[in-house]
Structures are given as C-alpha cells and as structure tokens.
Amino acid sequence: MAQMTRFPCRPGTVGARLAGRHAGPAGRLATTTLAAALLTSVVLGPTPAWSQSIPDAAVSAEMREDWGAAAEIYRRALEADPERVDLWRRLSDVLARDGQPVSAAEALDQAVAVEPDEPDMRLAASAAWAQADRPAAALEHCLAAADLAPEDVAILRTCARQANWAGDTAAVAEISGRVHAITGDAADLKAYARALGGMGELDESVALYRDYLAAHPDDPEALLDYATVETWRGNYAVAAEALNQYHDVHGEDDDWAARRARLLAWAHRPTEARELNDELLAANPNDYEHLYTRMLILRGEPRHSEAIAALEPLKRLRPESKDTRDAIRSTHAFLRSNVGIEAGFRDDADDISLRRLAIKGRWSLTPETYLYGRAEHRDIRAKAGSPFVGVEGDTSVDIEQAWVGARHRFSPLLEIGADAGVASIDGGGGDVGLYGLYADLRPLDNLWVDLSATRRVWDISPKSASLGLAMRDHRARIHWQPTLRHFVNAEVAHGRLNDGNRRNELFVNPYRAMLRTERLNLDLGVSAHWQDYDRDLDNGYYDPSNYRRFALTVVGYWKFSDDDGLNVTVSPGWHTDDSLSDYEFGTDVSVELINGIYRDWYSRLSASYSDRSQTTGRYDAYSINWELVRRF
C-alpha cells in the first residue's frame, strides 16, 4: 500500500521552526540560527571565567568588530596552545559573527576534542552546527551530551527537537521514550505516541494514544493525531470515530477538515473528500498536505492525467521527501507500459492436469488509454482410459491462443475495452474465435460495477477442448462498500456453450474488516455460491443442476512492506448439487506471495487447494501459478 505523509507540523512549534518547513534555505538558516542562539544562552549561560588571560589584541579587535583580525589572533594563540578551550570558544564566536557558521562549528569541534566528556561543550557544538544548517552534526553532538547526562530531561528534549529537524524519526521516538520513562507525565506520553507514529511504529503508537485518550478523551491534538495514525494503518472506521469525537467536542476547523479529507481520500470517498479539500486549498493553495490530499482524490476518482499533474507541486515543494517519492511511484505504477510472463500448473482427483505458459504486454498510449495483448500455450492432459481423454483418444491436447485489445477511460464514471483473437486446438478441436467486451462503471464513490461479455475456449479437460467447446460468458462483478468497515462482493453471470448448454451463476460475499494493523489486515465474512446448467451432457466438464455452496471466508494479508506481502484465504463450507443427497463439507485454501507492488519488477506466486472440484465433479484439486512483470 502507498504511504501517507507524516504529521503536518503545526505553525509555532519548535519542531516546525527548526525544520523551517515554511521557508526557503535562507529562512531555514535564520530559524536555525535563532534556535541555536537560544539554545546556547539557555543551556550554557554566560561564558565562564578562565584562569588564563585572553590576548588583549584580540579583545581590541572584537571591540572594533574586526572579526577577521580577532580570529587570526586566536588562531595564532591556539597554534601555541591547542588545549585552550576558552580560546576555541571565542574563535567560534567571532567566526559566527563574521558570517562563517561552518568554521565556527568546526572550532567548537576542536574544543570538544579537548573536553569530550563535558555535556555543556557538546551542547555548544550542537548549537553551532544548528547555526550552520547541519542537522545531522547538531544531532550527533546533542545525543553525545544526552549520553553524558542521561537523566537530564532538558537535554533530552533539546535532542528530540534536533532529531525532528534532522528527520531522524527513530531518534525522536527513542528520546521521547526516555523522557517519558523519566517524567511519567501525560504530555510526554502523548509526545512519545506521536514520535512512534512518525517513525512508522504504528501499532505501538496507537496503543499509547489509547492509553492517553482514556485519561484525556477530549484532547484535540491527541484525537487528530490518533486519527492520523489509524488512517495510516488503514483502520478507517476507527479513524472516522476519532474525528467524529473531535467534531462533537471542538467543532469544525481546518485541522479537522484536513484530517477528514485525507481519511476520505484513502477510504475511496473522493467526492466528500473533495468538498473539504477545495475549501482548504482555496485558503492555502501551496500547502503540501492539502495538495497531497488533492492528488489522492484525483487518483481515487479516478482521473489519471490530473493525478499525474497533481504530483508536480509536491515535487516542487518537497522534492527529496520520501512521501513525494512514494506518491510518484504509486501513482504511476499501474499506468505504466509493461511486459510479463505467466506460468501455471493444475491437477485434480480425476488426473486432469493443465500446464500453461503465457507472455503478455501493455502499451500505455496515455494515462487513460492503453493497448494490450497476450499469447498463451496450454497443454491439458488426462490419463489413458479416462472418460476425459480427447474425442480422438488423445491424452494430451495442446491449445495455442492469442488476442489483442484496447481500453480507454472516458470519464471517472466509465472505462470501456475490447479484445479479439483466435485459439487453435489440436486433437480435432479446430480454430475458435475469441473476443471480449468490457465496461467498468463507478456510479457512486463506494460502488464499482464491472461488466464483461467474453468468448473463451472451454478447456476443462482434453475432451471438452477437443470438441472445440467455447463459452460465451456475460458477467457483472460488483464491489460495494456500504460503510468503512463493511464490504460486499457479488457476481451474476449467464453463459452459453456451443454444445447447447447454458449456465447461470450467482456469488455473494459480504465481509467485515476485523483488523487493520501496521502489518496485518484481517477480514471475516460469509459467501453463497449458486450455479445451474440446463443440461447434463457427457462433454468432459462438470455441469451440475442447482449447485449450492455456503461458506465462511477468512482473508488475511501480512504486509512485509509497502511493496511486498503475503495473502492467505481460507474458506470452509458446505456444498451440494443434484447428485448429492445432502450437504458435504469442503474447504478452499489459497496462499499468494506478492513482491514489488509499486516497483519496476512485480511478481506473484500463488498456490491453492480445494477438496472439491466444481468443474469435474470430484472434490480434490490444486494449482500453482506464477507471474513476473517488468514495468517501463
């Protein structure tokens, strides 16, 4: 799944000032200089008196504000006595006043080398590197100071701010945890929860936010940030509940509207999200967070070209941000041209097996239009003497088939496509024409309807293939999300075979999102499947009258990363048809390993098992399939 942007920094916080998120390079330097100066004055206090004298000539040069001359005098004195920490500090000060922040910080590094175990000296060096706009070096010195004074909460808080500025989310979380362990304060618990969310430890962050909100249920900042972390986990229903609580207590404001718009954009509710986002962008047209939400809305509607164009302001505002890079690759991934290969094997209790190998490709002409094609070899086999061998007695029948097609999205409401091809079947099957017509509809934000009319070879067994059987299938697939927790998949189909048989089919699968965590998604539901053939023919395929199956469905997805995961589906249930006197128990299991969802190389490896086979009348079958795609 694609990543959401991190918490928007609130104007006025120290983290926002240090990060300089609303300023260019000059602004960042100014804010870090101010922060470092404040840090030096608060932590270090006035420069202590030293037993050794300061060169009079250097003092006179400083009084004349001749910083270059003063620096040269201090350097000569330090060549004679490099252990003079007081002179390194004065040299650093005059270099800073002379507009040389890097040299000033390097001078304090020399002082640290003389007194490496002095926390105050480390903090002075940290402040100097902050003035030089070097957050990593500033953080390194601050962490060293914290190690020297591990119970000093003031130093730890300073380091947390430095880590936030440096973008080191792991350090922010580790330091915030140390502060909370020392103080036990509720405010530090909230800060720790926020830091864990920022570094991607979403489950731990949620647990801490829940602890905090149990004692402070109406805290506006905590409610908003808790909703954000739950949104990152994909736990949209719980995030919406937190935002509803915020709304009930604090009303509508820009913070609430921004978080709700982001939630709705991720949860496939682009119309409602757009209403909120339009007002926010009208007031702040260059706000990165609002622009990011706009990109998600356009992607979800879907408006492919506009979504790609919406990436440009993100690249302009934060070109090096991981969030920007993730937005770019996740937006482009499914619109890119590609070539791929597929291979598969299937076997069942009737000893009917299928081996297949295919190459395929997509050529994207525009984000809305693409051409595609596929060429495939299929080898279907049965044992000698089996009732499923070919009509000429062949135990193996080869099928060579290929088709090409095109699809175009006319609007967010409608995409249509068509393909045409031919299959050549040996063993007496001859040539069979193939076609496909498609219409994908989005009548509502939460309703998808995919319509198709296809003609494909009915290669259930060598016998059905050698007879040249083809199925004309007319099908509607529906996906409905009535709430943020509840979903319904449904299919209704009518098919006609060229042996005169007809099939009607209905499948319904309502399910509920039970878990949405940092790593695991878990859905539980039920399903009902019915299919019915007009006639019972001996043409090498399973054609039951009034087949019914009712089952439980358990679907789990384990996220290794945004790009990789493992999908497991288990469906135990009971089935019957006109040949059975009662319902029989059976289970379907499938496992799918997915790699590279948004990367250039994408692959899927799946294995499935069923203790019944709806196509041969026997109740034992398994299959293995593999796919590899290269995107361009």
DSSP string across 227-239 = HHHHHHTT-HHHH
- Residue 519 sits in a domain whose CATH number is 2.40.160
Asked, for residue 279, whether it belongs to a domain, the answer is: yes
Q: Which tens digits make up the pLDDT trace of 475-505?
A: 999 999 999 999 999 999 999 999 999 999 9
Whether residue 354 sits in one domain with residue 429 = yes
Q: How confident is the model at residue 52 (pLDDT cuts 50, 70, 90)?
A: low
Beta bridge partners of 448: 479
Query: Which pTM value belongs to this model?
Result: 0.84
Final residue belonging to a domain, choices 316, 335, 354: 335
Identify which of 16, 43, 53, 46 has the alpha carbon closest to the alpha carbon of residue 31.
16
Domain that holds residue 303: 252-335
253 Cβ neighbours under 8 A, 6+ residues apart: none
* Domain stops at, among 276, 308, 335: 335
Instruction: Tell me, yes or no, whether 421 and 489 share the same domain.
Output: yes
Two tokens at 61?
Answer: 């040069």
For the chain, the C-alpha Rg in angstroms (whole number) is 33
Residue whose token pair is 């596929």: 374
Q: Is residue 454 located within the same domain as residue 538? A: yes
Q: Do 272 and 398 sit in the same domain of this protein?
A: no
397 domain-assigned = yes
Q: Does residue 170 lie within any of the structural domains?
A: no
Residues 382 and 297 in one domain: no
Strand, helix or coil at 258? helix
- Tell me which of 308, 335, 362 is where a domain ends: 335
Q: Cα separation of 632 and 333, whole Å? A: 9
What SS3 string covers 510-562? EEEEEEECCCEEEEEEEEEEEEEECCCCCCCCCCCCCEEEEEEEEEEEEECCC
Cα 294 from Cα 311, distance rounded (Å): 10
Give the pLDDT of residue 27: 34
Distances (CA, A) of 453 to 387, 495, 583: 31, 9, 33
Nearest to 332 by CA among 370, 360, 369, 304: 304
The mean predicted confidence, pLDDT, of the chain is 90
Q: Span 206-211, mean pLDDT?
A: 96
| pLDDT tens per residue across span 522-547 | 999 999 999 999 999 999 998 999 99
Residue 588 in domain: yes
Pairwise CA distance, residues 229 & 236, whole Å: 10
Residue 399 within any structural domain of the chain: yes
Copy the structure tokens of residue 82: 């490099």
- Closest by CA position to 77, among listed 64, 63, 59: 59
Residue 374 lies in a domain: yes
Check residue 433 and give its pLDDT.
Answer: 97
Residue found by looking up tokens 């089919």 in the block: 505
d(CA 10, CA 25): 19
Q: Are residues 326 and 463 in the same domain?
A: no
The yes-or-no verdict on residue 280 having pLDDT over 80 is yes
Residues 382 and 515 grouped into a single domain? yes
User: Which tens digits make up the pLDDT trace of 91-110?
Assistant: 999 999 999 999 999 999 99
For residues 276 and 286, membership in a common domain is answered with: yes
Residue 275 has φ and ψ, to the nearest 5°, of -60, -45
Residue 84's nearest CA partner among 94, 75, 93, 96 is 75
Report residue 323 CA to chain centroid gap.
Answer: 10
Residues 465 and 435 in one domain: yes
For 599-622, what is each residue's pLDDT tens digit?
999 999 999 999 874 444 456 899
Q: Could you tell me if 426 and 503 lie in one domain?
A: yes
- Does a structural domain hold residue 283? yes
Q: State the total domains in the chain.
A: 2
Does 225 map to a domain? no
The reply to whether 324 and 359 lie within a common domain is: no
Residue 33 has pLDDT above 60, yes or no: no
> Is the domain of 309 the same as that of 409?
no
